[in-house]
Chain A
Amino acid sequence: EADIYQTPRYLVIGTGKKITLECSQTMGHDKMYWYQQDPGMELHLIHYSYGVNSTEKGDLSSESTVSRIRTEHFPLTLESARPSHTSQYLCASSGRQQGAWADTQYFGPGTRLTVL
């Protein structure tokens, strides 16, 4: 069981509201990621971080922003939510298990966001 947490699990809000999706991990991983996933579709990388004070945009253009002030915490913020932001947001972190030759990405349970 991966030690990566997301809150809230479900969020329904009105257009124009500012929201922050929380993500935290207790595995000490430097690399963290945010993905967006629509039903039946593949995951799209929207943000990633190599470590504290490092953030980069992913492949899918997103109006959200992220910050990485602490290793364990990687929140995602939408300044003004719109219906087009309705989606599932998955947070992940990656690290190498002892004896492994490659990193494994561990995913949080996701936040299902609905913007009315």
Chain B
Amino acid sequence: KNQVEQSPQSLIILEGKNCTLQCNYTVSPFSNLRWYKQDTGRGPVSLTIMTFSENTKSNGRYTATLDADTKQSSLHITASQLSDSASYICVVTDRGSTLGRLYFGRGTQLTVWP
């Protein structure tokens, strides 16, 4: 069964600290993996996209890693800011369907305190 599991479910850190969010998936055949940021009451916004041949990709203070062999990804946030408080969702696309079926994790709820 194709699944996406994220950990931790929630995380509280102090402003300026770093953190790492985890994503494990069983989706096959694999096409790509995205990390989305979803602010409360808003729709998700794409942060990064990675294919199986990419190990790391950065977008400002966000750095995503991917290990296609172990089917694990992480999102590292550096020097956190209050505006980083949001849900971070891992989304994996399979390449076995015309639609490009997306599998969503439940997200990690990050809270940054001043």
Q: Which residues of A contact B (CB under 8 A)?
A: 2, 4, 31, 40-45, 48, 90-92, 101-110, 112
Binds A, one of B12-20, B55-63, B67-75, B105-113: B105-113
Interface of B is mostly: strand
The answer to whether A40 touches B43 (Cβ under 8 A) is no
Chain A residue with the shortest CB-CB distance to B100: A103
Interface of A, secondary structure class, is strand
Kindly list chain A residues whose C-beta atoms are within 8 Å of the C-beta of B51. Answer: 101-102
The distance in angstroms between the C-alpha atoms of A31 and B101, with both chains bound, is 12
Residue numbers of B with Cβ under 8 A of A are 4, 9, 31-32, 41-46, 49, 51, 89, 93, 99-100, 102, 104-107, 109
Give CA–CA (A40, B38) in the complex, Å: 11
How many angstroms from the CA of A31 to the CA of B31 in the assembled complex? 18
* Contacting pair B106 A41 (CB below 8 A): yes
